Structure formats: structure tokens, C-alpha cells
Amino acid sequence: MSEKLTEIFGIDVFNETKMKERLPKTAFTALKQVIEKGGDLPLDTANVIANAMKDWAIENGATHYTHWFQPLTGITAEKHDSFIEPAEGGKILMEFSGKELIKGEPDASSFPSGGLRATFEARGYTAWDCTSPAFIRRDAAGATLCIPTAFCSYTGEALDKKTPLLRSMEAISKQAVRIVHLFGHPEVKRVDVSVGPEQEYFIVDHENYMKREDLMLCGRTLFGAPPPKGQELEDHYFGSIKERIALYMRDLNQVLWKLGVLAKTQHNEVAPAQHELAPIYCTANIATDHNQLVMDAMKKVAKRHGLECLLHEKPFAGVNGSGKHDNWSLVTDTGRNLLDPGRTPNENIQFLLFMTAVIEAVDKHADILRLSASNPGNDHRLGANEAPPAIISIFLGEQLEDVVAQLIATGEAKSAKQGGSLTTGVRTLPTLAKDATDRNRTSPFAFTGNKFEFRMVGSSASIAEPTTYLNAIVSETLEKFADELEAAENFDQAVHDLIKRSLTEHERIIFNGNGYSDEWVKEAERRGLPNIRSFVEAIECLTKPESIRLFESQKVYSETELRSRVEINYENYSKVINIEARTMIDMASKLYIPAVIKYTRQLADSINAVKSACPVADISVQEEILTEVSALLAESRKALKELSISVAKAQEFNIASETAMFFKFDVFPKMEALRAPIDKLETIVDAKDWPVPSYEQLMFEV
């Protein structure tokens, strides 16, 4: 198996090795040049590459190609074209031109554009992103050559998540290179953003899933009483993996490895039926594409196993939800990780400067980061005592916190605490070298050794936006730093002053304690840190003057693009809650309420039957249950009516932000009011009369 793995890894990717084998040297060099330095590929070179790509794809069974892109829906989109061209005698040729490789023209009018495009203005273009390799995806459609592309409108605005990401990578590279040059490394030409996203997910049985309208339409349960056993025994986390899941993971790994995804770690997560997959990190753009492939493969492979993969942030109330940790760092083209402190971070001034830039950026633009991790699903997690809190803070760990304290006090750090060693008290066990820093699970933004880990991101979200925003805010700070340092007469002194000044100003964002505690909420408020409680309340930060200045100065988003993102965010929230509310109405009226009515009828029949058979028998239990069930039934019906009225009212607003606010503050509470009595009923009504699989079945029947 391990030998075979080296053979199958990347087999379906048109990677550098294959390009080198199959392309004439001049074409290969020209392409490498564009990948590394940018610029346009001459059309005849593109023709040569397209032809080689097509031959390779056809040899591997492909009949179609597609420009694969990432519209603002958050998932990927594709339109397949076969390679066929008519030839003489009723025959066909298999063709693929450089033009078709470089540019596509899908109809843009049916993708979210946030007002950038009216329905009648349909033109949009996809453009080949040659920095992310083409690949063959295999599914029931056969083999399809997928070409990663960016997607923009006729007027040039980005209609996707990839374009701003690529822009942000260029921005931060430019500024980071300036800093690195100041530290005497002129050989560095580019700084890459590296990203490793850890992906959490749930797996449930397909049969159970199909009986739950809420799971099918919304990806999460909208009703459901807590099972007798949840995650309290902590026996699922890192537990032995069930055979059926293991088989699924094995298959999933094979699919991903063939696609060149460096799937590395797999384990059971905290909640029952919850798992995680982590790849080895790579360049942000490819990591983002790969994470989309991971999510897609997770779902498809699950179906092949009679399972369903839930990527929603909160499929079940009462147990942990799922997130995605966006591990982020900066690496030079000479292979140096700029966030690696080394053993003595106090002496590593270049590291300290980059660390300082991240701290300043995160403090200045905490609201933007908060938004980048927000979606309707993540509202159930952030600040709800399980995932990181909604307040952004940075965990540095003991060692760096101590270094920062020294820097603030004197402008110089003379020492760095070392981890030392750890003895277990057992002679036969090895002495372990201890890290200089413990972990902190509650921090939304933690330094973890040689990278920052942004842990607020939702499990279903693309990592494009969190990474784009992070790149942009750090890039802005690095630019400011570079301007100041390039103008300084005494560089060493200027760096010292800058680090001391910036850390003193932005120290408030550093917090090493328990982010779940109530004291932290108060402390954060005292420090003046924003505590934005929900997605809809976070959206408006994108068009604050300082945000517009930030994104425009870094050339990541234009103001028009930002305004369109705001619009899309509000619309997205309203649409999701609207669907959830309507699904609840449907389930309550057609499933739960009828089932409970039937059950009351059974109880009443039983009471009458017992009464007539034995007038002196004690029927108080049946009567008590009937009374309680009937009361809850009445409460459900009332809540259902109120929810229906609220949903109808929500349709009357014309302004996206107002609609979203109404959904958040009027519709959503009414959804919870409907859920409460029905969940209570589930604990009383005979299990065989309950119309949908229970939490217990969903979480434990795999």
C-alpha cells in the first residue's frame, strides 16, 4: 500500500513533472516564468500547452473539460464541454485550443453579484489560473479535465473568491519582500503565503439523513431532543475509528491523494459522529482549491458508502459544531518561514517585526477578521461556549508573551524562556523535550510554533476570504513598516523603536487566558476590543472608510466590489434563515403536529378503554401525559403561527440589510420558540410514533 501510494499520489494532476515531460522546453520555461513572475502567455505557447494537457487528459479517460471556478456562493462551479469537433465523413476530432484554456465565458447572471451585474448584463469571464495545476476529477460523469480559473464580470470586477485571494497574495508578497530586503536578504524575490486548513465534519447514515427534511434542505437539524449520551464522556475524541468510517476515510484519502492533496491526519473529533481531516500546508491559492476538493470529495465519497457528510457548522444542538483552522504563515521563495522564531526569538529581530505586524494588523482590523469567519452556520458557534469566542484576541504563549513584555518595557528582549524537559516518573519512558509554549484551545487566533492559527473559520466556508482578509491587513501594516524603515537613517534603532511603539499600542489584543470565560468578555470590553455578536452585525464593517482604504490601498477589493460583498452577505443570511424557517414550518405542520395529534388520540382511546373496562382503575398517568402533550401541542401550534407570520413579514422589506436584521432579530427567535415545545414532545411521545430519526439514531447509528 505505501509503495503504491507513491505511485498514485498526484496521478490525476497535470503537475510540474508531467508538464516537464510533455511540454517542449520553451513552452515549459515560458509557463514557469508566468507562474513565478506573472505576465501574459503568448497564444502559440498556450496552444501548445492546451494540446499537451488535452492529450494527457484523454489518455487518462477524459472526454470533457471544464473551467472550474469559485463564485460567491462559496462552493465551486463548472460547466463541462466535450473535446469533440466535427470532422469529415461524420467523424470527430478531439480538440482543445489555447484560447479555450485561457478564457471561458459562462453566463454570469445567475451567480451572486451583489448588484454588480443585472440579470440582463450576463457576460462574465473565467481566466486560467496557471499557478494552480489542472487536474482530472473522476465521478459518475467519467473523467473531467478541471482547469482552475478566476471569474470576473464584463466590467472587470471580481465575481469570485479566487481573484481577491490572488491579489492579496501579490500585495503581501510585495511588502514582505521590502522588509526582508531591509534585513539584508536581497536574494528573496517573492514571499508566499502558506496555508494548512484543518477540516472538521460529521458523518451520518444515508437512510437516516433521507428521513430528515432539515438535514437534506438545510444541512443541519432544526429540531431534535438531546440524546441520553452526548460528548460528556469524552470517549469519541481521538477514539478508535469505527470500521465503517475507517473504510470511508481510506477511500477518501485515495481520491484526494490522486488529486495531489496532501491528506495527512485523520481522527475522531469531540462530538459523536464528528471527524477531522488535515492536509499538509501549501501555497494559499492551491490550499484553497484543495480545500474545495476535500469538501467535494468528502460529500461524494460518503454517498458511495451509504453515508452522508455534513459540513454545516452546527448540525446538532447540544454537542460541538465543526470549524476549520486556517493555519497561516509567510515563506520566502528561498524556503525560509518568516514566522519561525527559532530557539531564541528575542534575538530574531526579523521574526519579531513580522510578529508585530500581525499583532498590529489584527488589532486594527479585528472586525474584518471576525466577518471573514462569519456565516449563518457559524453564528451557532462563535461566542456560544465551544468554538472560539466572537471577540478577536491573539494567543502568543508564555515565551513570546514574555518577550513582548520585555520589548514594551525596555525596547529590548534579553532572554527567551525555554521549554525545558518533561519527565514522566517512569524510568523506561524517554525524557520529552517540552515546547516553550502550551496550547490554548479557546483562542480565536493563536501563535502555534511557526504559524498563526485562525480558528474561527466555519467548516463549510471557503478559506479564500479569511486568508484574503488576513493577507490584506498584514500587507497594509507591512507597507507602513517598510515605508518607515526604508526612510530611517539608523535601521537598527528604527526597528527597535517601531517594534516597541507598535506593541505598546496594540498590546491589548494579546490574551493568553480562557477565552470562554465571562471575565474575558468584561475584560475585553474594558480594553475596547470589539465584541460583534453575530454575522449580520459584522457585515457593515466592510464599508467603513478605513476598511475601504485598506482594501483599495492593497488593491485587493475596489469599493464597488466591497459594496457588492456587503449586499451578498446580507442576502445570503436572509436566504438561509428563510429556507430554515420554511423548512421548520413544513416539518412542524406536516410531520410533528400530525404525529402528536395521533398520539393524543391513542392516549384518549386508552383512557376511555381502561375506564369502561375497569371504572375504578387509576388512569391518572394517561391523563397527566395527555394533559401535558396537549398543552405542548397547543404551544407548538401557536409558535408555528407566529413563525409563519414573521416569515411572511420578512418578505416585505426592500433593503438587504433591513431584511437580514429582521430575519436575525424577529424570525430567528421565533424559530427557537417553535423548536422548544417540539423537542420537549419528542421526549414524551412514543418513539415509534415519532416521525423522524432521533439525535441518538443520527449520531450513533453508523
Does position 162 interact with ligand ADP (CB under 6 A)? The reply is no
Q: How far is CA 113 from CA 260, 472, 573, 611, in A?
A: 32, 22, 15, 67
Q: Which is nearer to Mg ion, 180 or 457 (CB)?
A: 457
Q: Rounded to 10 degrees, what is the CA torsion of 177, 479, 161, 395?
A: 90
Q: Which is nearer to Mg ion, 209 or 281 (CB)?
A: 281
Q: How far apart are CA 276 and CA 604, in angstroms?
A: 49
Q: How far is CA 590 from CA 527, 593, 689, in A?
A: 51, 7, 14
Q: Which is nearer to Mg ion, 290 or 325 (CB)?
A: 325
Place of cell 420554511: 582
Place of cell 522546453: 25
Q: How far apart are CA 228 and CA 652, in angstroms?
A: 42
Q: Which is nearer to ligand ADP, 254 or 337 (CB)?
A: 337
Q: How far apart are CA 628 and CA 205, in angstroms?
A: 33
Does position 268 interact with ligand ADP (CB under 6 A)? The reply is no
Report the nearest approach of ligand ADP to the CB of residue 82 (Å). 37
Q: What letter represents residue 436's amino acid?
A: A
Q: All 3 cell numbers of residue 592?
A: 410533528
- Which partner in ligand ADP, Mg ion, none is near 454 (CB below 5 to 8 A by kind)? none
Contacts of 545 (CB under 8 A, 6+ apart): none
Report the nearest approach of ligand ADP to the CB of residue 340 (Å). 7
Could you list the beta-strand ranges (E) of 115-262.
Answer: 124-128, 135-139, 142-153, 191-205
- Which partner in Mg ion, ligand ADP, none is near 455 (CB below 5 to 8 A by kind)? none
- Which partner in ligand ADP, Mg ion, none is near 106 (CB below 5 to 8 A by kind)? none
202 pairs with which residues across the strands? 274, 310
Beta strand 62-68 with 142-153: parallel, antiparallel or unpaired?
parallel
Binding pattern to ligand ADP, positions 336-365, x when CB under 6 A?
A: -x----------------------------
- Which partner in Mg ion, ligand ADP, none is near 84 (CB below 5 to 8 A by kind)? none
Report the nearest approach of Mg ion to the CB of residue 439 (Å). 9
Return the residues of window 435-474 that contact ligand ADP according to CB under 6 A. 448, 450-451
Report the nearest approach of ligand ADP to the CB of residue 264 (Å). 7
- Which partner in Mg ion, ligand ADP, none is near 278 (CB below 5 to 8 A by kind)? ligand ADP
Q: Which is nearer to Mg ion, 167 or 325 (CB)?
A: 325
Binding pattern to ligand ADP, positions 110-149, x when CB under 6 A?
A: ----------------------------------------
In the set 179, 215, 278, 319, which binds ligand ADP (CB under 6 A)?
278
Q: What letter would DSSP give residue 434? A: P
Size of the site for Mg ion (CB under 5 A): 1
Does position 194 interact with ligand ADP (CB under 6 A)? The reply is yes
Does position 279 interact with ligand ADP (CB under 6 A)? The reply is yes
Q: Which is nearer to ligand ADP, 328 or 599 (CB)?
A: 328
Binding pattern to Mg ion, positions 163-192, x when CB under 5 A?
A: ------------------------------
Largest separation between any pair of C-alpha atoms in the chain = 103
Report the nearest approach of ligand ADP to the CB of residue 335 (Å). 11
* Residue of 227, 396, 404, 400 whose CA lies nearest to 316: 227
Q: How far apart are CA 153 and CA 106, in angstroms?
A: 10
Q: Which is nearer to ligand ADP, 162 or 451 (CB)?
A: 451
Binding segment for ligand ADP (CB under 6 A), chosen from 47-55, 189-197, 354-362, 427-435, is 189-197
- Which partner in ligand ADP, Mg ion, none is near 195 (CB below 5 to 8 A by kind)? ligand ADP
Report the nearest approach of ligand ADP to the CB of residue 267 (Å). 10
From the number of C-beta atoms within 10 Å of its C-beta (0-12, 13-18, 19+), residue 509 rates as buried
Report the nearest approach of ligand ADP to the CB of residue 326 (Å). 9
Q: All 3 cell numbers of residue 355?
A: 510578529
Q: How far apart are CA 148 and CA 259, in angstroms?
A: 13
Size of the site for ligand ADP (CB under 6 A): 15
- Nearest-CB residue for ligand ADP: 196
Q: Which is nearer to Mg ion, 318 or 449 (CB)?
A: 449
Does position 280 interact with ligand ADP (CB under 6 A)? The reply is yes
Contacts of 171 (CB under 8 A, 6+ apart): 471, 472, 475, 554, 555, 556
Binding segment for ligand ADP (CB under 6 A), chosen from 41-49, 276-284, 497-505, 543-551, is 276-284
Does position 324 interact with Mg ion (CB under 5 A)? The reply is no
Helices assigned H by DSSP within 614-667: 620-650, 656-662
Residue 397, classed as helix, strand or coil, is coil
User: H helices then E strands: how many in the chain?
Assistant: 24, 19
Q: Which is nearer to Mg ion, 67 or 325 (CB)?
A: 325
Q: How far apart are CA 606 and CA 624, in angstroms?
A: 13
**Contact (CB, 8 A) for 123 and 105:** yes
Q: Which is nearer to Mg ion, 356 or 440 (CB)?
A: 440
Contacts of 563 (CB under 8 A, 6+ apart): 114, 115, 543
Report the nearest approach of ligand ADP to the CB of residue 197 (Å). 7
Q: Rounded to 10 degrees, what is the CA torsion of 547, 552, 555, 559?
A: 90
Binding segment for ligand ADP (CB under 6 A), chosen from 324-332, 548-556, 565-573, 688-696, is 324-332
Q: What letter would DSSP give residue 542? A: G
In the set 198, 313, 465, 567, which binds ligand ADP (CB under 6 A)?
198
Report the nearest approach of ligand ADP to the CB of residue 414 (Å). 27
Report the nearest approach of ligand ADP to the CB of residue 1 (Å). 22
Q: How far apart are CA 313 and CA 120, in angstroms?
A: 35
Does position 372 interact with ligand ADP (CB under 6 A)? The reply is no
Q: All 3 cell numbers of residue 414?
A: 534579553
Residue 346, classed as helix, strand or coil, is helix
Q: Which is nearer to ligand ADP, 440 or 477 (CB)?
A: 440
Does position 324 interact with ligand ADP (CB under 6 A)? The reply is no
**Contact (CB, 8 A) for 181 and 188:** yes
Does position 325 interact with Mg ion (CB under 5 A)? The reply is yes
Does position 281 interact with ligand ADP (CB under 6 A)? The reply is yes
Q: Which is nearer to ligand ADP, 278 or 550 (CB)?
A: 278
Q: All 3 cell numbers of residue 71?
A: 463564485
C-alpha radius of gyration, the chain, whole number: 28
**Contact (CB, 8 A) for 282 and 15:** no
- Which partner in ligand ADP, Mg ion, none is near 196 (CB below 5 to 8 A by kind)? ligand ADP
Beta strand 84-86 with 92-94: parallel, antiparallel or unpaired?
antiparallel
Binding segment for ligand ADP (CB under 6 A), chosen from 128-136, 211-219, 327-335, 640-648, is 327-335
Residues that bind Mg ion (CB under 5 A): 325
Residues that bind ligand ADP (CB under 6 A): 194-196, 198, 278-281, 327-329, 337, 448, 450-451
